[in-house]
């Protein structure tokens, strides 16, 4: 049960943190249509996160764990009762977030935001396809529902990678810089955490399709897939880059300043 809770939180955290990052573009997009596009993607991602947090909350509240070790778990102590989608998003600390490192990386320029979205949407696309047939029917249903949205994100971000990569000298150069910055965070997708192993979620099997997709789009964008380099990992286990702290400071500001406030 606890593996399923961890995995559900991992999926939810991926969506919430990327949604929050993209949301920072609100009112700052390069042109109005793309400002609307990136924030619409945020909305989809936060919607997915909500479904997943709601499910995680049910699992936590129903689990024996919450009854027996209520007093000893810092999570439960802080919540002082029932866990909800809000408490999971607003009251957990950095080490409790299980998102991949890629999604917490800063927006940088438009090229970096686009590349981050493309690398992640293509991963999410194959992951949700795979999860659609998961034995856990709730996870399968959320994956099936979200896949339609993710396909749209993937298409949009692929087109932008090509437009920038095969664009001007300036835009091409910025894409190269973005690849330099972000590629090292993609290896983690395919290294299973303990909870994935326990659930027999075979993320490594997605690597082939994902790499093929990246190569197809990069080829058309006149970009080169980097050779094997050292890959950062740890996000799935709660070991994050310094970026996540800043995101949570903003995301959780109201709950930190006015604990328990509602509006």
Tokens 């000298």 — which residue?
169
- Among 72, 133, 135, 137, the residue binding another protein under the rule CB under 8 A is 137
CB of 162 to another protein, least distance (A): 6
CB of 191 to another protein, least distance (A): 27
CB 49 within 8 A of CB 23: no
With b for 16 or more beta-carbon neighbours within 10 A and e for fewer, the 1-15 pattern comes to eebbbbbbbbbbbbb
- Among 43, 204, 225, 254, the residue binding another protein under the rule CB under 8 A is 43
Contact status: 151 vs another protein (CB under 8 A) = yes
48-56, 84-92, 111-119, 195-203 -> range binding another protein (CB under 8 A): 48-56
Helix, strand and coil percent figures for the chain, each rounded to 5: 70, 0, 30
Binders of another protein among residues 200 to 239 (CB under 8 A) are: 217, 220
Q: What tokens does 25 get?
A: 């573009």
What is the total count of residues that contact another protein (CB under 8 A)?
A: 33
Q: What tokens does 15 get?
A: 């969506």
67-75, 113-121, 151-159, 253-261 -> range binding another protein (CB under 8 A): 151-159
Q: What tokens does 126 get?
A: 């194959």
State the Cα–Cα distance between residues 168 and 151, nearest whole angstrom. Answer: 27
Binding site residues, another protein, CB under 8 A: 33-34, 36-37, 40-41, 43-48, 50-51, 137, 140-142, 144-146, 148-149, 151-152, 154-156, 158-159, 162, 217, 220
């Amino acid at each position: 049960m606890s593996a399923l809770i961890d995995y559900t939180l991992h999926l939810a955290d991926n969506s919430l943190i990327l949604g929050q990052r993209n949301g920072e573009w609100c009112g700052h997009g390069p042109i109005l249509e793309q400002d609307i596009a990136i924030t619409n993607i945020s909305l989809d991602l936060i919607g997915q996160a909500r479904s997943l947090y709601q499910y995680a909350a049910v699992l936590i509240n129903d689990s024996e764990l919450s009854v027996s070790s209520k007093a000893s778990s810092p999570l439960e102590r802080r919540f002082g009762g029932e866990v909800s989608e809000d408490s999971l998003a607003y009251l957990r600390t950095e080490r409790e977030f299980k998102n991949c490192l890629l999604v917490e990386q800063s927006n940088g320029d438009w090229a970096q935001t686009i590349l981050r979205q493309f690398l992640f949407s293509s991963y999410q696309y194959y992951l949700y396809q795979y999860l659609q047939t998961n034995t856990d029917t709730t996870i399968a249903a959320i994956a099936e529902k979200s896949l339609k949205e993710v396909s749209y994100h993937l298409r949009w971000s692929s087109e932008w990678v090509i437009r920038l990569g095969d664009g001007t000298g300036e835009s091409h150069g910025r894409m190269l810089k973005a690849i330099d910055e972000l590629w090292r965070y993609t290896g983690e997708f395919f290294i299973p955490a303990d909870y994935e192993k326990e659930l027999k979620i075979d993320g490594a099997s997605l690597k082939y399709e994902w790499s093929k997709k990246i190569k197809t789009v990069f080829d058309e964008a006149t970009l080169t897939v980097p050779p094997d380099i050292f890959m950062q990992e740890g996000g799935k286990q709660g070991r994050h880059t310094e970026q996540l702290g800043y995101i949570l400071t903003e995301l959780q500001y109201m709950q930190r300043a006015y604990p328990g406030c509602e509006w």
